[in-house]
Amino acid sequence: MTDRSRRPFIVGTGIAGLYVALRVRELGLKPVLLTKARLEESNTRYAQGGIAAAIGADDSPRLHLEDTLRAGGDLVDRTAAKILTEEAPLRIADLVRYGVPFDTIEGQIQLGREAAHSRSRILHAGGDATGLSIEETIRQRVLDLGVEVRERCVLRALRPLAAGVIEATVSNAEGGETETLDAAPVVLASGGAGSLFRQSSNPPVATGDGMAIAFRAGALLTDMEFVQFHPTTFCREGAPRFLITEALRGEGAVLLNEAGERFMPDVHPDAELAPRDVVARAIVAEIERSGAPCVYLDATRVPRDRLYARFPSVSRFLAAFGLDLARDRIPVAPAAHYTVGGVATDHEARTSIPGLYAVGEVACTGVHGANRLGSNSLLEGLVFGEHAARQLVHPAPGGPAMPARRLVLAWPPGSGWAGSDDDLQAIKDGLWEFVGIVRSAAGLQEAIGLLERIGRRSEPSDPSKPPSDVANAALTGWLIAEAALARTESRGAHFRQDWPRPRAVWNRHLGLLAAAAVRRDRTKGRRRSRPAAPKPRR
């Protein structure tokens, strides 16, 4: 029986949070939607390329599944990917019903091509304003249904209570006054950690705080080492790393080095449409070879009218810098884009803590394996958002399986000083330098040392006090670095210079658990599966 008086708290207002709120409301509950910024601010609105779904006459969910499995480097959870690809057309039909204005041609939805997709299956809206169009439509629907929204309300801590309810501590955006909300189920839809890297395509809100908060509360995290770097973001001193969508390469744009030569055909048979990690590393190699800060995207062979119609946001952005897609080579370089790992969930968005759910980029269902196929992320928010909504209405026990490999990690207690802007910048610099596109044991250890030093300063000395933004940033960055150090191989988005190939022993997921939470569980006599002995560091 559903208790309709329970009001689930949904944290985050990207596609995942908005969609869960919308569906939960439609199914009869009254959710409360919390966001640390304004309702409309999230990573979703910057998503350009689109949303993948096998709706074309030459396509099928099976082909979409095969492409998703191939992109994910043998680590994709097959069931999750099957759910994603089979339910994609249903969720697209929902979006059409809600009024998302997908671009059409002669009454048919237009489908674009992106890297590593074997078919044209990328739906877009407003040309390259897909995320924005979807977000605006769902947001309006959420408001029309009277969902309670609390803006500038920052989640600070979660405390699991009995009976599948969670106590959530929140504060205002300045970190002042804290408040403990009524205990309820909580859905983390708080997004990824891309903006913790100095170069990032993400907006500043993408700081991975949901991951840090869930870890402290004792939730299992998985696959944190896999951070996807987008190959082509705008690269000019002082300008933001604006995304220059992969769909441009899907339309025929090519990459040129400093000498004006194409280099991707020598790197991969699919050239500019090779998997993202391959293109990103090839660009880094060109940049290192030439000493130039960037390479160039050349779309001048794509018809001018097509460029302006299909890429209005990119065209507008470039015009502000005096550049024209139809005439100029665009300076581009890679930047952090998507956090593949996160709070471990099963296929129903249940985490390892009863009553705590996670959806979208903050979550890790295993659907992306070691590398996400482009345009599967908006889709993930919808498909697993639907599963989360149904669970909230009809909860059932469950949760993610414990991965074969796990690390039990002790994050140092701090001195309770909140940390400074300089600390935040040091975290971003350290992650970019040492936990970026090309990693090594020495660099990762350097990053871990730096993040622990910042953690020791900024983590609360009294565990009942809520952590600051800096403490959360340091902890999430540290979890990424620890996982990257442990995975002694290269696979998908994770590349280790000192272990440059995949290794069969690592054909498995890596779980991360807080030592304090494991101790708490033991004391309660509710033993989790035995934690692995900490691995010796190389």
**Would you tell me which residues interact with ligand SIN (CB under 6 A)?**
47-49, 243, 245-247, 338, 374-375, 377
Cβ at position 420, least distance to ligand SIN in Å: 32
Cβ at position 207, least distance to ligand SIN in Å: 18
HSE (side-chain half, CA atoms, 13 Å) at 223: 36
Tokens of 194: 């891309």
198 Cβ contact partners less than 8 Å away, ≥ 6 residues apart: 425, 428, 429, 431, 432, 433
474 Cβ contact partners less than 8 Å away, ≥ 6 residues apart: 419, 423, 427, 451, 454, 455, 458, 459
Active site residues: 276
Cβ at position 338, least distance to ligand SIN in Å: 6
Q: Of all residues in this chain, which one has the CB nearest to ligand SIN in the complex?
A: 49
Residue spans of beta strands (DSSP E) within 166-324: 166-172, 178-180, 186-188, 221-222, 227-234, 254-256, 295-298
**Residue number, 383 or 451, with CB nearest to ligand SIN:** 383
**Residue number, 374 or 403, with CB nearest to ligand SIN:** 374
**Residue number, 338 or 495, with CB nearest to ligand SIN:** 338
Cβ at position 25, least distance to ligand SIN in Å: 27
Backbone angles phi, psi at 370, to 5 degrees: -95, 0
Helix ranges (DSSP H) in 261-393: 276-290, 304-310, 312-319, 377-393
Could you give the 3-state DSSP secondary structure of residue 260?
coil
**Residue number, 49 or 210, with CB nearest to ligand SIN:** 49
Cβ at position 134, least distance to ligand SIN in Å: 13
Rounded CA-CA distance 449/459 in Å is: 15
Pairing state between β 104-105 and 108-109: antiparallel
Contact 400, 345 (CB under 8 A): yes
**Residue number, 279 or 407, with CB nearest to ligand SIN:** 279
> 481, 218, 482: which is closest to 343 by C-alpha?
218
